[in-house]
Amino acid sequence: MSHGHFIMETADTVSPAPDSPAFTGSPEHLRLAIEAARVALWSWNVEDDSFAMDELAFDLWGLKQSPRVAFEELSAHIHPADRDRVRAAFVATRSVAGPYEIDFRIMLGDEIRWVSARGRGADDGIIEGMMFGIFLDVTGRKQAEEGHELLAGEMSHRVKNLLAVAGSLTQLSSRTAHTITDMTKELTQRLSALDRAHDLVRPIPGEQGKAALLGDLITVLLAPYDESAAFSGRIRVAVPRMGVGEKTASTLAMVFHELATNSVKHGALSSTDGMLDVSAKLDDDCLQLVWAETGGPEVVGPPQHRGFGREMIERTVETQLRGKLRYDWQGSGLVATLSIRTSLMTF
Residue pLDDT tens, the chain, 347 long = 444 444 444 334 444 555 555 556 677 777 777 777 788 888 888 888 888 898 898 989 988 888 888 888 888 899 999 988 888 887 887 777 778 888 999 998 888 999 998 888 776 667 777 888 889 999 888 888 877 776 676 567 556 656 665 665 676 567 666 788 878 877 777 677 666 655 665 545 555 445 678 888 888 878 766 644 344 478 889 998 888 887 788 788 878 878 887 887 788 888 878 899 999 988 888 889 999 999 888 887 777 666 656 777 777 788 777 888 898 988 888 999 998 888 777 67
Secondary element (H or E) of residue 158 = helix 139-176
Residue ranges of the chain assigned to CATH 3.30.565.10: 144-344
Predicted pLDDT at 196: 63
Predicted pLDDT at 27: 74
CATH class entry, domain 27-137 = alpha beta
The rounded distance, in Å, linking the Cα atoms of 306 and 178 is 17
Predicted pLDDT at 277: 92
The rounded distance, in Å, linking the Cα atoms of 279 and 288 is 8
CATH class entry, domain 144-344 = alpha beta
Measured CA angle at 319 (ends 276, 299), to 5 deg: 30
Predicted pLDDT at 9: 42
Predicted pLDDT at 198: 59
Residue ranges of the chain assigned to CATH 3.30.450.20: 27-137
The rounded distance, in Å, linking the Cα atoms of 187 and 173 is 6
What is the pTM assigned to this prediction?
A: 0.45
- The answer to whether the beta carbons of residues 186 and 261 sit under 8 Å apart is yes
Choose among 309, 338, 310, 340: nearest CA to 326: 338
Amino acid identity at 222: L
Count of other CB atoms within 10 angstroms of residue 260: 22
Count of other CB atoms within 10 angstroms of residue 84: 11
- The answer to whether the beta carbons of residues 231 and 203 sit under 8 Å apart is no
Q: How distant, in Å, are the alpha carbons of 222, 233, 237 from that of 297? A: 20, 19, 22
